């Protein structure tokens, strides 16, 4: 199983060092900067009375906590298990996903906090449930990028990818949401487009020309495909919570959930159709079912809170199921062969393309918004035409949305190239080509022979004696 070209994948010093030092840094930075906000602080009672809030149920916690927990499941079980499809990389898929998400959410609380939740009176970041959701969102961008390099990097590289990814995300998000004033509740642009291109650019920088020689492990087995469906389904089911988690209270959350529910349902049918149509005997391909069925949720991210209309959601899902599945069939092999981009999970088809589509759908929907559809107050609330932006009109908003897509792509590609350069340094303990897609370099693996039924073990025993 070993080969001469094996690299040193021993991370015994680097991994613990990075974990301990960075976690210590988090503690110090949290100590200096992070405090509870007025809804999670023990002074809430006094605050409530001062603001004449009639009941504890008006605390933002009750508006958002159920969605938060759903998003949390998507991040850890959804992304983690979606990547377990490889036959011998399930530990790495779910374990490293766990590691980088746990680190990333802390760093995201700080980075996003400085941009969005800084209380200038005392220089502290004040956090509540919405910050936790946003931190999970921010982490999602990096987990998407992990999908492109799955099986080809060390955990230390992943932590570096996450550190820079979160940082870039927070800046990009601030530019898109605050400076450009684009709306992006479900993150088609800020999460999926950015995360997709970030991962693809890194994968391009880390291109392994001889990888297909060792592709023995780059496939699934029956049970690993079933494990991956756990990830798929939890992502699919909870996507309405993802897209509605930070939208406006009331109709905003309500509408975002409905639109996402419908878009995803539509995607399933067209994914199955295309998957069957393009195989020789009409058989379905698990790769498509595991991934393309989710494209509708990505593509409806930006517009979910708008008056997209139920049929509009279905149309978006319809198109994305087709585009995404065709991407797996034609585009991924093309990109690997001609563009030198090895995209293990096909994030281009699941996140990058649908993300861009979502951005475009958002721009069109915003530009087409009218007062008769939204109501005068509804229009202002939905697009947040207040403060500096109180004179904006929907057509302008459409333009701003389009600008947001460009920023997300630029940050993704540019950031990915820079971070890819850093990750090419020969100090991170990444695996040799022969060790890719294998848990062996980074995990203590159980001896699986015992699990074979007795009769086979006996045969082996006999056989070995003969030999």
Which residues, 45 to 104, sit near its own copies by CB under 8 A? 45-46, 48, 54-63, 65-67, 69-70, 72-73, 76-77, 80-81, 84, 87-88, 90-91, 94-95, 98-99, 102-103
463 near its own copies, rule: CB under 8 A = yes
Binding mask 154-173 for its own copies (x = CB under 8 A): -x------------------
Whose Cβ is closer to its own copies: residue 314's or residue 363's?
314
367 near its own copies, rule: CB under 8 A = no
Minimal distance, residue 205 CB to its own copies, in Å: 25
Contacts of residue 307, defined as CB under 8 A and 6 or more positions apart, other chains included, come to: 255, 365, 369, 373, 374, 382
Binding mask 278-297 for its own copies (x = CB under 8 A): -xxxxxxxx--x---x----
Minimal distance, residue 248 CB to its own copies, in Å: 8
Label residue 435 left, alpha or beta by phi (over 0 means left) and psi (-120 to 50 means alpha): alpha
Structure tokens at 78: 């959804």
262 near its own copies, rule: CB under 8 A = yes
384 near its own copies, rule: CB under 8 A = no
25 near its own copies, rule: CB under 8 A = no
Restricting to residues 298-337, name those near its own copies by CB under 8 A: 307, 309-311, 314-315, 318
Sole binder of its own copies in the list 3, 16, 334, 368 (CB under 8 A): 16
Contact 81, 430 (CB under 8 A): no
Minimal distance, residue 341 CB to its own copies, in Å: 24
Distance CA 321, CA 291 (A): 10
| Among the residue ranges 115-123, 263-271, 391-399, 420-428, the one whose residues contact its own copies (CB under 8 A) | 263-271
Restricting to residues 177-236, name those near its own copies by CB under 8 A: 216-217, 219-227, 229-230, 233-234, 236
Contacts of residue 324, defined as CB under 8 A and 6 or more positions apart, other chains included, come to: 267, 271, 291, 292, 295, 349, 350, 353, 354
DSSP symbol at 432: P
Whose Cβ is closer to its own copies: residue 174's or residue 318's?
318
260 near its own copies, rule: CB under 8 A = no
Q: Strand, helix or coil at 362? A: helix
122 near its own copies, rule: CB under 8 A = no
Sole binder of its own copies in the list 122, 209, 338, 377 (CB under 8 A): 377
Contacts of residue 35, defined as CB under 8 A and 6 or more positions apart, other chains included, come to: 41, 124, 125, 126, 127
Which residues sit opposite 36 in a β-bridge? Answer: 127
Label residue 384 left, alpha or beta by phi (over 0 means left) and psi (-120 to 50 means alpha): left
**Residue carrying structure tokens 């020969």:** 426
| Among the residue ranges 175-183, 196-204, 245-253, 396-404, the one whose residues contact its own copies (CB under 8 A) | 245-253
Minimal distance, residue 110 CB to its own copies, in Å: 10
Contact 264, 294 (CB under 8 A): yes
Minimal distance, residue 463 CB to its own copies, in Å: 5
Restricting to residues 393-452, name those near its own copies by CB under 8 A: 441-452
265 near its own copies, rule: CB under 8 A = yes
Contact 360, 306 (CB under 8 A): no
- β-strand pairing of 118-119 with 124-127: antiparallel
Minimal distance, residue 406 CB to its own copies, in Å: 28
Distance CA 109, CA 113 (A): 6
Which residues sit opposite 380 in a β-bridge? Answer: none
Structure tokens at 19: 């974990």
- Classify residue 282 by burial, with Cβ atoms within 10 Å: 0-12, 13-18, 19+: exposed
255 near its own copies, rule: CB under 8 A = yes
């Amino acid at each position: 199983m070993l080969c001469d070209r094996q690299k040193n994948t021993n991370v015994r010093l680097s991994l613990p060092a990075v974990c301990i030092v960075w976690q210590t840094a988090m503690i110090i930075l949290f100590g200096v900067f992070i405090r509870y906000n007025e809804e999670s602080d023990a002074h809430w009672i006094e605050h409530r009375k001062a603001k004449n809030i009639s009941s504890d149920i008006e605390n933002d916690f009750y508006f958002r906590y159920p969605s938060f927990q759903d998003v949390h499941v998507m991040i850890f079980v959804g992304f983690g298990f979606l990547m377990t499809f490889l036959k011998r990389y399930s530990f790495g898929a779910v374990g490293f996903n766990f590691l980088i998400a746990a680190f990333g959410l802390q760093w995201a609380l700080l980075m996003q906090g400085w941009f969005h939740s800084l209380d200038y009176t005392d220089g502290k970041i004040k956090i509540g449930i919405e910050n936790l959701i946003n931190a999970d969102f921010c982490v999602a961008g990096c987990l998407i990028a992990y999908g492109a390099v799955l099986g080809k990097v060390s955990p230390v590289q992943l932590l570096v990818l996450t550190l820079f990814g979160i940082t870039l995300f927070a800046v990009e998000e601030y530019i898109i949401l605050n400076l450009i004033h684009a709306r992006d509740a479900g993150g088609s642009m800020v999460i999926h487009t950015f995360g997709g291109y970030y991962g693809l650019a890194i994968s391009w920088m880390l291109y392994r020309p001889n990888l297909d020689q060792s592709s023995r492990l780059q496939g699934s087995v029956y049970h690993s495909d079933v494990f991956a469906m756990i990830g798929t389904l939890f992502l699919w089911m909870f996507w309405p919570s993802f897209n509605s988690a930070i939208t406006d209270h009331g109709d905003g959350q309500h509408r975002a959930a409905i639109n996402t529910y419908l878009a995803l349902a539509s995607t399933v049918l067209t994914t199955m159709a295309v998957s069957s149509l393009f195989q020789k005997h009409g058989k379905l391909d698990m790769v498509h079912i595991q991934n393309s069925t989710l494209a509708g949720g990505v593509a409806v991210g930006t517009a979910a809170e708008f008056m997209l209309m139920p049929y509009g959601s279905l149309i978006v899902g319809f198109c994305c199921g087709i585009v995404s599945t065709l991407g797996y069939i034609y585009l991924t092999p093309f990109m690997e062969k001609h563009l030198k981009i090895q995209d293990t999970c096909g994030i281009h088809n699941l996140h990058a393309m649908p993300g861009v589509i979502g951005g475009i759908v958002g721009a069109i929907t915003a530009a087409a918004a009218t007062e008769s559809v939204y109501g005068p107050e509804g229009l202002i609330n939905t697009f947040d035409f207040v403060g500096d932006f109180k004179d904006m009109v929907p057509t302008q908003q459409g333009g701003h949305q389009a600008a947001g897509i460009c920023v997300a792509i630029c940050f993704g590609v540019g950031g990915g190239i820079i971070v890819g350069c850093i990750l090419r340094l020969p100090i991170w303990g990444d695996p040799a080509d022969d060790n890719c897609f294998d848990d062996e370099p980074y995990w203590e693996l159980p001896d699986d022979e015992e699990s074979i039924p007795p009769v086979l073990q006996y045969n082996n025993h006999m056989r070995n004696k003969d030999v």
